[in-house]
């Protein structure tokens, strides 16, 4: 009898976990993200000709309004000719087609010889375009390139602890961890009852 209850409880826990993750995967910016895990598009790849770069944004590939975000670009070139030393790489950020930031990409603090970065604070919720333009200098043989990324900024820094936990991209991990802990506690209790 107890094993049937335990099996039902485990099934219920997995159903709830599946439901949370399923809602998360279908959530868009329609108000549901206030109560579940926000959708983030991590590590975005853009290419132009033989040059490509993967974009990573800190924090959590999902920047906040009013908080500095650091952009990291990991460059690759098909023939392996790309070098930061031989690239005049510039970045600009556009909001509704209007340039609100422009600057030079700097080598990132990583040991990689193909990583560039910069920081920027988004002023408001919106979808921004990040544009990277690179030109070869010093006899480099890679072609000039222009890479474009769309970045949605929808999170606002909040002091409300509850909403920050629910809006965290790790909310699903917390729920899954809690379910696993409950499962193991019940399993341990069941074994203790059998031993007696």
Q: Is 110 helix (H, G, I), strand (E, B) or coil?
A: coil
In this predicted structure, the answer to whether residue 28 has a pLDDT above a threshold of 80 is no
Residue 140 has pLDDT above 60, yes or no: yes
Same domain, 52 and 145: yes
Q: Do 18 and 105 fall within a single domain?
A: no
What is the span of the domain harbouring residue 68?
44-153
In the block, residue with structure tokens 């917390």: 174
- 116 shares a domain with 66: yes
Model pLDDT, residue 37: 44
- At 96 the pLDDT is 92
In terms of domains, do 12 and 106 share one?
no
21 and 86 in a single domain? The answer is no
pLDDT of 38 higher than 50: no
**69 cis-preceded (ω within 30 degrees of 0):** no
Cα separation, 51 vs 45, whole angstroms: 11
Confidence at residue 120, expressed as pLDDT on a 0 to 100 scale: 94
More confident residue, 5 or 151: 151
Among residues of the chain, what percentage have pLDDT more than 90? 32
Query: Model pTM greater than 0.75?
Result: no
Encode pLDDT of 74-86 as tens digits: 998 888 888 788 8
């Amino acid at each position: 009898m107890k094993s049937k209850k335990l099996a039902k409880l485990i099934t219920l826990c997995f159903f709830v976990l599946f439901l949370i993750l399923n809602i998360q995967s279908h959530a868009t910016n329609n108000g549901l993200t206030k109560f579940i895990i926000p959708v983030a598009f991590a590590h975005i790849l853009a290419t132009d000709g033989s040059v490509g770069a993967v974009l990573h944004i800190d924090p959590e590939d999902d920047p906040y309004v009013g908080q500095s975000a650091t952009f990291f670009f990991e460059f690759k070139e098909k023939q392996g000719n790309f070098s930061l030393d031989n690239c005049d790489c510039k970045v600009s950020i556009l909001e509704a087609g209007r340039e609100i930031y422009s600057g030079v990409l700097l080598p990132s603090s990583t040991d990689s010889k193909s990583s560039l970065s910069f920081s920027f604070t988004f002023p408001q919720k919106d979808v921004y375009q990040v544009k990277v333009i690179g030109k070869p200098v010093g006899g480099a043989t890679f072609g000039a390139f222009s890479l474009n990324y769309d970045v949605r900024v929808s999170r606002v820094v909040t002091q409300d602890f509850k909403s920050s936990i629910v809006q965290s991209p790790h909310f699903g991990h917390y729920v899954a961890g809690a379910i696993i802990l409950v499962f193991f506690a019940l399993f341990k209790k069941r074994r203790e009852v059998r031993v007696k």
